[in-house]
Amino acid sequence: MLYSIRMRSAKGGAHENGGHHISGAERILSKEELAQTASELVTRALTHSKGCADFIRITIDAIEDDDIVYKPALDVAITKADSVAEGLEAAYRLLETSGINREAIQKALFTLRSQPENMRGALICNAETGERMDDLGLRGVRVSRMAFADPADAIPHFEKQGHTGVHFEEALVLASKVLGYPDILGEFCVSDDPDYAVGYVSYGHTYHRLTPVKELGDQRGGRIFFVKPDTDPDSLRHYLEETTVLVTIETI
Ligand code: AMP
C-alpha cells in the first residue's frame, strides 16, 4: 500500500482565510517513510526564502493499487539565454512547435501577470485563443498525487545527465503527469521564487528548462496549461487533481 502526503503552508493564516502562500509539496511513499517526510516538509515551510509559514497543513491518504496510472517521464533539454527577452522568445518558439499560437501564449502570460498575487495552481488556457478556461480564480488547478514510480532508479538516471535537485525532480514529475493528458498540448512554468529565474516549457515528449525567463528578485511566477479548444475542463481537472500518477523512466 502506498500513501499520498501533501503539505501546503501560508503566512498570515490559512490560504482560505487570506494567508499568503509560502510553499507546497507532496510525495507518494510507503508507510515507513511517512514520519521522516512529514518532518522534512515542515522544515521546508519554516525555512522558505519567501518567509516562515504560520499555517502548515499536512494531509495523508492511502492509495489503492488499482487506482494508480503510470506515465513516462519527459526527456530533458536546457537552453541558457543571455536575457529575459531571449529566454521568453525561446519559450514561444518551443511551444509553437506543439501547435500553440504565439498570441495565445502572450495573452495567457498577460492573464497570469494580471493576477493580484501569485496563484497557488495553474491557469488552463485555450491553445488557439489564449482564453482562460477554468473558473478557479487565484487558486487555479492544483496538480497533485504524482511521484516517480521508482525514485532510486529515476534520480540517478537524471543525475547522470547532469539534472539534479528537488526543484528539478518535482517539476519534471509534475510536467510528465500534465503532458500525460492527451488534450494538453504544452505547459509554461515560471518559478515564483525571487532567487530563481528559471522556468520551463514542456511539449511533445520534452521538458525544456529555460533561463532566465524573469528578472532575479521578481516574485511573480505561475503555470499555464495550454489545451485543445474542445477540452472538457471537469475531466481535465479530475485527472490533474485526483488521479494518482507514477512516472516511469522507460524510453518513450
Ligand atoms: P514553483 O514551481 O514551485 O516555483 O511554482 C511556480 C508556480 O506554479 C506557483 O506560483 C503556482 O502558481 C504554480 N504551481 C505550483 N505548484 C503547482 C501545482 N502542484 N499545480 C499547479 N500549479 C502549481
Q: What is the pTM of this model?
A: 0.89
Q: Rounded to the nearest whole angstrom, what is the distance from the C-alpha of residue 64 to the centroid of ligand 1? A: 26
Share of the chain above pLDDT 70, in %: 99
Task: Determine the Cα–Cα distance for residues 175 and 73; give it in Å rounded to an integer.
Answer: 8
Per-residue model confidence as pLDDT tens digits over 9-33: 999 999 989 999 899 888 899 999 9
Per-residue model confidence as pLDDT tens digits over 148-166: 999 999 999 999 999 999 8
- Could you give the count of Cα atoms lying within 13 Å of 29 in the half-sphere of its Cβ? 15
Pocket of ligand 1 (CB under 6 A): 24, 118-122, 142-143, 171, 174, 189, 191-193, 221-223
Cell 495552481 appears where? 121
Per-residue model confidence as pLDDT tens digits over 79-134: 999 999 999 999 999 999 999 999 999 999 999 999 998 898 999 999 999 999 99
